[in-house]
Chain A
Amino acid sequence: GAVVSQHPSRVICKSGTSVKIECRSLDFQATTMFWYRQFPKQSLMLMATSNEGSKATYEQGVEKDKFLINHASLTLSTLTVTSAHPEDSSFYICSARGETNSYEQYFGPGTRLTVT
C-alpha cells in the first residue's frame, strides 16, 4: 500500500523560532499533498493543499506567511511554522494523493509540535 512518512515525529522548540516538518510519499508520486492540524480531542482541520510546483492553497483563517508550504517534488512537501508560539503547539498531519482519479488520501504518522 501507499506509505507516507513525516519527519520529525516529535519536536520541541522555543517560542519565536521556526520549525520545518517534512512529508514524503515513499512508494508513489503525490500529485497533491495536504496539511492538517489536530488539537487534542478535536477534529483534523485542513490547513492547506499543495500541488507539486505550484503555490499552496490555504484554508480560510490560516496565515500563509506563518505556515510556509513548499511542494518541490512529487514525493516531498514541507511545512515550516515560522516564529512559533505556544498556541501553535499541535499535532500536524500530512496526507498525499497519488492518482488523479482516486479520492483516497494516505496519511503520514503525524508530527507532535510543542512550543515552549
Chain B
Amino acid sequence: GQNIDQPTEMTATEGAIVQINCTYQTSGFNGLFWYQQHAGEAPTFLSYNVLDGLEEKGRFSSFLSRSKGYSYLLLKELQMKDSASYLCAVLEGDYKLSFGAGTTVTVRA
C-alpha cells in the first residue's frame, strides 16, 4: 500500500515562491507525478519524476529523492491563477496511481 503525505494548506503572496513537499512510502515505485486541480475540475499534469534530481519546466520545478522517499514541487513567480490544489501521486508498478490528499495553495495579492 501507499502512505503519501503532503501539507494540507499553504498561503503565499503573488510573485513569491512556494515549495510543496511530499513524502511517500511504497513498494514497486515507478515514478512520482504532480498534478494541479482546480475546485470541481479534473487534475492536470504538471510533472513526472522517476530519476533523482530536479526537473524544471517554466515556473514549475519538481524534485525527487528516491532514497529519502521525498519530492517537492516548486512554484515560482506565483500568480493568482496558481491558487489550486496540488496533488502528489506515486506510480506503483505499471499503472496504479496513488494520490496524496492534496495541498491547497492560496495566492494573495
Residues of A within 8 A of B (CB): 4, 32, 34, 41-46, 49, 91, 93, 97, 103-110, 112
Contacts and interface: CB of A to CB of B under 8 A. Distances in A.
Nearest to A44: B99
Given A103-B91, A104-B45, 4 more contacts: A44-B89, A46-B96, A104-B33, A104-B48
A97 B97 CA distance: 12
B95 A32 contact: yes
Contacts of B91: 103
A7 to B, nearest CB: 13
Given A32-B95, A103-B91, A105-B97, A43 B42 contact: no
Given A97-B95, A103-B30, A103-B31, A43 B101 contact: yes
Nearest to A106: B45
B25 interface: no
Tell me which of B4, B91, B97, B98 has the highest count of chain A C-beta atoms within 10 A of its own C-beta: B97
Contacts of A44: 43, 87, 89, 97, 99
B87 to A, nearest CB: 7
A57 to B, nearest CB: 9
A108 to B, nearest CB: 6
B44 A107 contact: yes
B42 A93 contact: yes
